[in-house]
Structure 1
Amino acid sequence: MEKEDEFLFNFFTHISQLNFDKAKECVEKEKPPKGPITQKTTFLNLLQQLTLAEKSYMDIGFLQNKQKSFILRKDNSLRAVYEYMKNDFRKVEDAFKNSNTRYQNYCQNIIQFLSARINLIDLYEKVYNQATTNKHMVYVDILNSTETIIQTNNLGFTDITLTPIKAVFSLECDIVQQLFKAMFELQKLQFLPSLALIHGAHTRLAAWESKMQRETWKLGLFKNSPLPILFQWLQKLKGAVLSKFSLYFHDILANQTAPTEMRHLCLKLQHDYYQKMVTFQRKHEAACVILLSDNQVNCDTADYDSFPIIVSYPPVRI
């Protein structure tokens, strides 16, 4: 690997591991002594801006925390920062066109990465808007958008120097895709596909977390620090999907273990929906609490016998 390649590879390795201070140090060491500003200096300055943008992205900088909930910033500033950087890298790319093809290639790949980041920002905003304005989130809509991002960027920023950040980007996309696909399958009451997708998301979350830990937390640099907010949100999303899965297929899962063990496992869930049903039934002395599905009903009907029972308490004997 050439010296320039090694520098950029190390830079994106630090970025992918959330080691932003190391990334900035890496750039500072590469800067030449004081002198006239060259295109390379401009390139390095843009990398420092990218470091700050990535740190903000991982903390969901395109949203802000207000009254313990995330709301959209009106100016959408982080997205604008990525757009500005794209334009600046294009200018540097043009300047290198006839003088340094290596740096021209770097710029092209980084521009592709910035476009991919903007795609994900737009996706998360779409999720937010659907969650806050629609009564029911359209999972297939989010799923289609995610798969479009994956396909669009599949052949993007493939230069060896961006390998670390491409790996993390792919994990992030896969996690979102698998979780929303799992929710889509849950709507259709598909047990095995939902289970496989939740497991796939869990595996990828663990893989991503291990990349963060490899050279940062294991050295104690972020000791007692929480995971980045974006990662925490994805973990909570997985927890929410798993909670819904455990409710929808409670009877199937309960048949695989003892009642006490099942209750113990449900207590570990992010939301123990089944216990909420039990509490509701006992509190109001209801004869039965039943969750019905309208997924398999193709016409308007008032006949509740036409709706499949997802879960009930006490269990309905058919």
Structure 2
Amino acid sequence: MESEDEFLYTYFNHVSQLCYEKAKEHIEKEREPKVTTSPWSLFLNILQQLALAEKSYIEIGFLQNKHKSFLRKDNSLRSVYESMKNDLKKLEDNCKQTIADKRIQKGSKNIIEFMNARINLIDLYEKIHNISLNKQLICYNEIVHQVESVIEKNSGGFTDISMTPAKAVFSLECEILDQLFKALTELQRLQFLPSLALIHGAHTRLAAWENKIQSRETWKLGNMFKGNPLPALFQWLQQLKGAVLSKFSLYFYHTLAHQTTPNEMRNLCSKLHHDHFQKILAFQRRYDVSSVILLSDTQVSSDTTNNRFPVIVAFPSRNPPQLDTILKMISETNNELMNVEKIIYKFSSQEQFTYVLTTVEPNIYLVILFESKKSEKDTFISNFVVELCQNMRCTKIFSSLKSMTK
């Protein structure tokens, strides 16, 4: 490995391990005494800026409010990367044909490709955050396509040996996002094994990324009084995995419960990001609920009375006697249920039952039954429905991308 390649490899190794002070010291050691305008010195200045940008990126600084007006330029992280790209392009253009300058040109080319990849990911995270603002049913496939586009677009970029640490972490980040959003897509289709495999894939990649932060023990000491020392973006990905796993545990609760004892199942669910099962049970007991049911219009099951609307999970009974009535109501209110914020109350005077219906996902419905008349003004019911649906759709996690910004 050439000395310049070795220098860059060590630099990107420090940055990928979140050792930004070490990266800074590494740059300072390379500075030429009393020379400030040589191509190499200018290149080092950009590397110093890049380390600061990367520190901001890993703390989700890319979703900070943009301070932009006619008096002040856009200082968002995206614009910082764009500005550094322009500086590197100018440096490339001004380099001569010496061996040293050619190496700077090669390094600049690879780093520009890396910055393009960063900007692609910033655009992706902004799209994920914006999902939480849209009052529409979510199609996770759109995010999967964008993640795969980012992977494909940058697969041939920054492949130089000096960029290996940066490439490895970038690939892990993309693969984690890819696995989790594919898992959400498979969960909408109620596919047990594909969902489980994808969640496990994301889990192993998160573990691999955490292991790459080799010096985390040193900065844990400095952050031990500040809560979780892991960077905000890594924490967010962990939380997204936790939310997806919690959703999986509810959609396939009956399947999983058959594999273990009730006590063990309860203990396992209590460790999840959201223990949906216990929250539903608590809601039932406190509010005298007759039944809580999740149904799907996807043909995935043959053990129900109506194959078109299989019961995904129901508490307390898997096959409630009111199923035919529920299916009729869903069919009659289908247009209203397209509104993600709509909670429909239907009271049957003949049965003396109140049916509460809403859409969790494009093909999945939540139905709550009460053996008495309930009012739409009952905030306890509406708050429970809204919170459960938001957690199942993961919109709270998507929204938290901004609130986690430090």
Change (3 A) 1:29 1:155: same
Distance 1:222 1:178 in 2: 33
Question: 1:53 — aligned with what?
Answer: 53
1:241 matches 2:244: yes
The one-letter code matched in structure 1 to 2:62 is F
* Residues 228 and 36 of structure 1: CA distance in aligned 2, closer, same or farther (over 3 Å): closer
Inter-partner Cα distance in structure 2 for 1:219 and 1:165: 20
Summarize the Cα distance change of 1:143–1:97 in structure 2 as closer, same or farther, 3 Å threshold. Answer: farther
Residue aligned with 1:133, SS: coil
The aligned amino acid for 1:93 is E
How much does 1:13 deviate? Answer: 0.1
1:161 is aligned to 162
Distance in 1 (CA, whole Å) between partners of 2:133 and 2:219 is 40
* Aligned-partner Cα distance in 1 for 2:34–2:221: 31
Q: Which residue of 1 aligns with 2:292?
A: 289
Q: Summarize the alignment of residues 66-105 of structure 1 with structure 2, pairs less than 5 Å apart.
A: 75=74, 77-96=76-95, 98-99=97-98, 100-105=101-106
Counterpart CA distance in 2 for 1:133 and 1:78 is: 24
| Paired AA for residue 312 in structure 1 | A
Q: Summarize the Cα distance change of 1:204–1:305 in structure 2 as closer, same or farther, 3 Å threshold.
A: closer
Alignment counterpart, residue 263 of structure 2, candidates 249, 260, 281: 260
Q: How many angstroms apart in 2 are the aligned matches of 1:73 and 1:269?
A: 38
After TM superposition, the structure 1 = structure 2 runs for residues 157-196 of structure 1, keeping only pairs within 5 Å, are 157-196=158-197
Residue number in structure 2 paired with 1:311:
313
Q: 1:208-247 alignment to 2 at 5 Å? A: 208-212=209-213, 214-217=214-217, 222=222, 224=224, 226-247=229-250
Match of 1:137 in 2: 138
SS class of match (1:62): helix
Q: 1:174 to 1:222 in 2, by over 3 A?
A: farther
How far is 1:24 from its partner? 0.5
Distance 1:185 1:36, change over 3 A: closer
In structure 2, the partner of 1:34 is 34
Cα deviations by residue, 1:159-201 (Å, 9 ceiling, x for unpaired) = 0000001000000000000000000000000000000000000
Match of 1:108 in 2: 109
**Deviation per residue, 1:197-249 (Å, 9 max, x gap):** 0000000000000111x134258665526100000000000000000000000
Residue 124 of structure 1, CA deviation: 0.1
- Number of the residue aligned with 2:387: none
- Offset at 1:281? 2.1
Per-residue displacement from partner, 1:90-134 (whole Å, max 9, x unpaired)? 111112253322211111000000000000000000000112223
Give the 3 Å change call, closer, same or farther, for CA 239–219 of structure 1 in structure 2: closer
**How big is the shift at 1:143?**
0.5
> Is the CA contact (8 Å cut-off) linking 1:62 and 1:72 kept in structure 2?
no
Q: Distance in 2 between matches of 1:156 and 1:97?
A: 24
**Amino acid corresponding to residue 316 of structure 1 in structure 2:** R
**Shift in Å, 1:5:** 1.1
Structure 1: distance between partners of 2:260 and 2:174:
34
Say if 2:66 and 2:76, in contact at 8 Å, map to a contact too. Answer: no
Q: Deviations over 1:53-94 (max 9, x none)?
A: 000000100124xxxxxx777757100000111111111111
The CA distance in 1 between the partners of 2:75 and 2:283, in whole Å, is 42
Q: What is the one-letter code of the residue matched to 1:210?
A: N
Alignment partner, residue 10 of structure 2: 10
TM-score, scaled to structure 1:
0.91
Q: What is the CA–CA distance in structure 2 between the aligned matches of 1:73 and 1:232, rounded to whole Å?
A: 26
Structure number with greater Rg is 2
The SS at the match of 1:126 is helix
Q: SS at the partner of 2:294?
A: strand
How many angstroms does 1:287 deviate by?
2.2
Matched letter for residue 98 of structure 1:
Q
Partner amino acid, structure 1, of 2:84: M
SS in 1 for 2:314: strand
CA contact (8 A) 1:130 1:138 kept: no
Structure 1 spans left out of the alignment, 5+ residues: 65-70, 298-302
Q: Evaluate the alpha carbon distance shift between residue 157 and residue 183 of structure 1 in structure 2; reply closer, same or farther with a 3 A threshold.
A: same
| Structure 2: runs of 5 or more not aligned | 69-73, 321-406
Partners of 1:20 and 1:58 in 2: CA distance? 11
Asked if the contact 1:31–1:44 (Cα under 8 Å) also holds between the matched residues in 2, the reply is yes
Structure 2 vs 1, CA of residues 147 and 46 (structure 1 numbering), >3 Å: closer, same or farther? same
In the superposition, the TM-score normalised over structure 2's length comes to 0.72
SS of 2:33's partner is coil
Identity %: 59
Distance 1:134 1:2 in 2: 54
Q: Which shows bigger deviation, 36-45 or 220-229? A: 220-229
Given that residues 175 and 201 in structure 1 are in contact (C-alpha distance below 8 angstroms), is that contact kept between their aligned partners in structure 2? Answer: yes
